[in-house]
Amino acid sequence: MGSQIPSLPEKNPGFPLPRRKVSTRQQNERKFASWEDLSAGGRRYRLDVTGRPGWLARYFKEVDSSEATLKFWQEIYDEKGELVEVHEKFPVDKGHQKL
């Protein structure tokens, strides 16, 4: 006789949703080249990555005082240093938005 796995109700406090893994401040400092302190103990981290000749992708991550991610986005700059595209990735992925 096979055992059946009971189906879970849609909302059941006995089965909490998995939590996002929170990076530590030390991990974020290793991943990102620079940062600035924000109010209430949060930070905005920044990482620049060169792409096509002369182009630049700049990644930003804003976190609260416990290093939980509040916002993550990417900015694309052309060979003239002009911002041409923004891609907000978190909390909602809005896709690439050309400017």
Separation CA 28–CA 17 (nearest Å)? 25
Higher pLDDT, 1 or 37: 37
Whether the pLDDT of residue 6 is over 70: the answer is: no
37: number of Cβ within 10 Å: 9
Could you tell me how many residues make up the chain? 99
Question: For residue 80, what is the DSSP state?
Answer: T
β partners of residue 69 = 63
Q: Are 70 and 88 in contact (CB under 8 A)?
A: no
What is the arithmetic mean of pLDDT over 64-70? 94
pLDDT of residue 23: 86
Separation CA 67–CA 25 (nearest Å)? 6
| φ, ψ at 41 (rounded to 5°) | 85, 0
Query: Where is average pLDDT lowest: 13-22, 28-37, 63-72, 75-84?
Result: 13-22
**pTM for the predicted model, two decimal places:** 0.75
